[in-house]
Amino acid sequence: MTGAILRLEELSFSYARDAALVLEDLSLDLPRGGITALLGANGAGKSTLLFLCLGWLRPRAGLVLLHDRPLAQYSRSETGRQMALVPQREHITFDYSVLEYVLLGRVPYLAPLSQPGSADYTIAYSSLERVGLAALARRPVQTLSGGERQLALIARALAQQPRLLLLDEPTSHLDLHNKANLVALVRALHRDGVSIVLTTHEPELAAALATHVVLLDQGRVLCSGPASETLTSEHLGQLYRIPIEVVEFAGRRVVLWS
Amino acid sequence: MNGDPAFLADAAVATQEKVHRRRRQILIVLFSSLLVVFAGSLFLGRFPAYRFLAGSHSDADALAQRLVWNLRLPRCIVAVAAGMALASAGMIFQTIFANPLVEPGLLSVSQGAAFGAAFSIVAISSSAWIVQSCAALCAFAGLGASYLLARSIRYGGWVLRLILAGIAVSAMFSAGLGILKYMADPLKELPEITFWLLGSLAGMSWTETLSILPAVALGMAYMLAMRWRINVLSLSDEAAHSLGVSVQRERMLLLVAAVVPTAAVISAAGMIGWVGLMVPHIGRRMFGADTRFALPATILLGGMFTLLCDDLARMLLPGEIPLGILTSFAGALVFLILISSKGVRWQR
């Protein structure tokens, strides 16, 4: 449980060569076995940061180190076994069944010309069970509701059996029941030793879940550390540029804003 | 939820295996039907008369033997190969571009070949092999130009750039084709161009067959070997990337594997419309979206559909009907039935 699973060193990034920097000189350690929550206003660079971690975007300057080794030194399938991304939403053109869709999480474990076997199906099905979608395994993905689709995406990421799970606003489409389930799931994965990074617009979720919080403001780290130190009225007010009060209620942090 | 989770998982996997077994059985039925249609097609035609079907005299009849071996057999092989190449390319294109409405001519392969053929007829010679070489050359030139143009477009994702570039290059080729038709001798050259544009397998010999087959076989082998992994490429770029796929490289390889056989087929046989657009939809209707089963089904159905259309093309009227007319007509008919029937969801 020591050290960083992913280390970002002086990252700078812009979407076009002459465009303004989205992230500037950003250095960050994502703790191994921790739950890191990334908070920031819309457009602060949260999703961009996840894509950089994943290697999908390449930094203009700086390095991303996975297990202290530059990301570029890993093969594609190796990173696919190490890291999984759950995007905010995903467009699905064709009518895959939920199980077929989740099975795609086994891609990094299979050589390009091979076919998934029954072990892969078992893993895919268990992932569905874990997010509570097992009963929908044979339904077409396109018939799922927004929240169910998000759970299917999470199941696909679990089928990758990653060491690091990147969740981009995982609760954005979920009702309270599924949100509670997701929190329980993330905690269970955390107990299994999976490192987790999630972006969120909900400071309460971060406070309830994260071992480590990073506040991202206009491409820079405003502050980072345990929730008790970072999620303060002052910091959040500075981040969202409105008056914010953080109060303790029944042992939880509650954010009041007006 | 009741029961042991491990038991439930086993049960689910067993159900899945049953589904797969049934799908495999249907594929075998499709394959057998293709063989039957193929064998039947060899003996279908206006010549020779019925006794030929009985088989008793065919050994002795040298003319009949030559007819089957040198005319019908190569023609039927090309029909099957063409249908397979176009249908599989259609499926690959639709999957990779995540768009059920694209067809293999998208990257200006068809328009390039059409321009090349017309150019050859007007400016060089209308002998078959020169027309075909010219068509192949321009088909690949169109593909190359689309690729290079896509690389230089400065915005949008890779898929959007390829589509835009393909449309632009296609438009230029069709403008060129328009000029050539305008300039062509209306009595001699224009009918030839028109006939080529409508597509036909009349006069396919072993030479053409053997020049097409390697490209089709290689492309098909690669696609079939990749038949499950193709699914991943229908996801967004970043999703496929996060699943450990080198998105751009794998898409490019598959596109080449799909386009090269298409170009070979179009160059030899002209424009055979609608096979690439329509057959993949039937394949998906039968087996669901999973390309592991939908792709082999599409390949078999494409071969069978084109072969049947070609049988009609040579038998329906005293003269030859251009194959492209029949595939377009039958294809459009099936397509209309398909999209107006229940249970098909259209998104995007």
pTM, entire model: 0.88
B237:A56 CB<8 A: yes
Confidence of residue A1 (pLDDT cuts 50, 70, 90): very low
Q: Measured between beta carbons, which residues in chain A are less than 8 angstroms from residue B289? A: 94-96, 100
**Does A59 touch chain B if contact means CB atoms closer than 8 Å?**
no
Q: Nearest CB to B241: which of A56, A116, A126?
A: A56
Q: Nearest CB to A93: which of B8, B245, B347?
A: B347
- The distance of B116 to chain A (nearest Cα, Å) reads 35
Interface of A with B in 216-255 (CB under 8 A): none
Q: Which residue has the higher pLDDT, A257 or A212?
A: A212
Confidence of residue B345 (pLDDT cuts 50, 70, 90): very low
Asked if residue B8 has pLDDT above 80, the reply is no
pLDDT for residue B2: 46
Collect all residues with Cβ–Cβ distance below 8 Å to B157 and sequence separation of at least 6.
B237
**Does B99 touch chain A if contact means CB atoms closer than 8 Å?**
yes
User: pLDDT of B139-166, one tens digit each?
Assistant: 889 888 988 898 888 777 777 888 889 9
Q: What is the mean pLDDT of chain A?
A: 91
Q: Nearest CB to B226: which of A85, A104, A112?
A: A112
User: pLDDT of A205-244, one tens digit each?
Assistant: 998 899 999 999 988 899 999 888 888 889 989 899 999 8
Nearest CA in chain B to A141: B289
**Does A50 touch chain B if contact means CB atoms closer than 8 Å?**
no
What is the CATH topology of the domain spanning A4-257? Rossmann fold (3.40.50)
3-state SS class at B338? helix
User: pLDDT of B163-219, one tens digit each?
Assistant: 889 999 999 999 999 999 999 888 888 888 888 888 888 878 898 899 889 989 999
* Widest pairwise Cα distance in chain A: 57
pLDDT for residue B48: 60
Asked if residue B249 has pLDDT above 50, the reply is yes
Q: Is B244 within 8 Å of A76 (Cβ atoms)?
A: yes
In order of their start, the domains of chain B are: 68-340 (1.10.3470.10)
**Does B58 touch chain A if contact means CB atoms closer than 8 Å?**
no
User: pLDDT of A130-154, one tens digit each?
Assistant: 999 999 999 999 899 888 999 999 9
Spatial strand order of the sheet with A195-200 comes to: A83-86, A164-168, A195-200, A35-40, A212-217, A220-225
**Does B319 touch chain A if contact means CB atoms closer than 8 Å?**
no
Collect contacts of A63-66 with beta carbons under 8 A, ≥24 apart.
Answer: A63/A7, A63/A8, A63/A9, A63/A10, A63/A11, A64/A6, A64/A7, A64/A8, A64/A9, A64/A11, A65/A4, A65/A6, A65/A7, A65/A8, A65/A9, A66/A5, A66/A6, A66/A164
Q: Is A89 within 8 Å of A170 (Cβ atoms)?
A: no
* β-strand partners of A66: A6, A69
**Does B238 touch chain A if contact means CB atoms closer than 8 Å?**
yes
Give the closest residue to A82 by CA, choosing from A183, A197, A171, A3: A197
Confidence of residue B264 (pLDDT cuts 50, 70, 90): confident
pLDDT for residue B28: 96
Confidence of residue B348 (pLDDT cuts 50, 70, 90): very low
Q: Measured between beta carbons, which residues in chain B are less than 8 angstroms from residue A83? A: 242
Percentage of chain A lying above the pLDDT 70 cut: 99
Of these ranges, A225-229, B98-102, B105-109, the one predicted with the greatest mean pLDDT is A225-229
CA–CA gap between residue B258 and residue B280 (Å, rounded):
13
Asked if residue A43 has pLDDT above 70, the reply is yes
Q: Nearest CB to B284: which of A77, A87, A94?
A: A94
Mean pLDDT of B308-336: 88
Confidence of residue B55 (pLDDT cuts 50, 70, 90): low
